[in-house]
Amino acid sequence: MNKKYTFEEFVKIIEELRSENGCPWDREQTHESLRSCMMEEAAELLGAIRIYNQTGNAENMQEELGDILLQAVMHSVIAGEEGLFTIEDVISGISEKMIRRHPHVFADKDIEGEKALLQNWEEIKRQEKEGKSWITSPLREIPAELPSLTRGVKVAKKMDKLSQYYDVETGESRVPDYNQLGKLLVETSQKVQQLLGDSNQESEKRKQELSEMVTIMLRFICQLSYRADLQPEQLLYDDIEAIIAQTEEK
């Protein structure tokens, strides 16, 4: 099949699938029913990027990008049927956002240095979010659907910007003492060792105390990752892959 389809033709294909004479499965889909599809397709795209990095073969990445595009167009077509917005509105919106957030490119605004660029970007984002009724608080702006480690780092970053900090040990708000974080991690590790070695303690109580210790360590990881500009989700992913690879080699 050598025909090269245009974007407009692709949109028409999805509209036909949603039509009265289209596909029963596609017709019954909603924004809610497609949530899991988007999550799966995003994960498969990440897998395709990994395969490309490992093999140099981009065929799977091309296919998975198509599946992501399908999700974007499907949601837009459904929204159009509901009188909410169209795919043209989506494209116009993201185009306007990119132009607005890059005044140093599109508006001849003189911004020197990466730090100044990031500060300007954040200020534009802040202005964009003013008056948005669905944002109940700055911290709730961070999607709950993110992987927890990624969300934890973003919460630490947001709280830092708001000058609101939390105690890694208790979760309560307070000014952070980063000199104590390393000491706290050592103390927590020692407590974990004691709990694991205490065979006389009631199993449920020990499990509860271990859960509290692990929570402290996860908070520490999120705070440290933010301060060091690390991506703990990616670090853990890479480490798991390395462990599996080493095991398979044996």
Query: What dotted CATH number matches 148-249?
Result: 1.10.287
Maximum Cα–Cα distance across the chain: 71
The tens-digit pLDDT sequence of the chain (250 residues) is: 678 999 999 999 999 999 999 999 999 999 999 999 999 999 999 999 989 998 999 999 999 999 999 999 999 999 999 999 999 999 999 999 999 988 888 887 778 777 788 888 888 887 887 777 777 788 888 888 899 999 999 998 888 877 765 555 555 555 556 666 677 777 877 887 787 777 666 778 878 888 888 888 898 889 889 988 999 999 998 899 899 989 988 7
Domains 1-85 and 148-249 share a fold: yes
Q: Which two tokens stand for residue 174?
A: 């307070």
Q: Which residues contact 103 (CB under 8 A, 6 or more apart)?
A: 109, 111, 120, 124
Q: Which fold has domain 1-85?
A: Helix Hairpins (1.10.287)
Q: Which residues contact 157 (CB under 8 A, 6 or more apart)?
A: 226
User: Coil, helix or strand for 81?
Assistant: helix
> How far apart are alpha carbons 173 and 167 in whole angstroms?
6
Kindly state the helix (H) or strand (E) to which residue 163 belongs, with its residue range. Answer: none
> How far apart are alpha carbons 216 and 223 in whole angstroms?
11
Residue 173: phi and psi, rounded to 5, are -70, 135
Break the chain into its structural domains and give their ranges: 1-85, 148-249
pLDDT of residue 201: 65
Q: Which residues contact 112 (CB under 8 A, 6 or more apart)?
A: none
The backbone region for 229, taken as left when phi is positive above 0, alpha when psi lies in -120 to 50, beta otherwise, is left
pLDDT of residue 172: 58
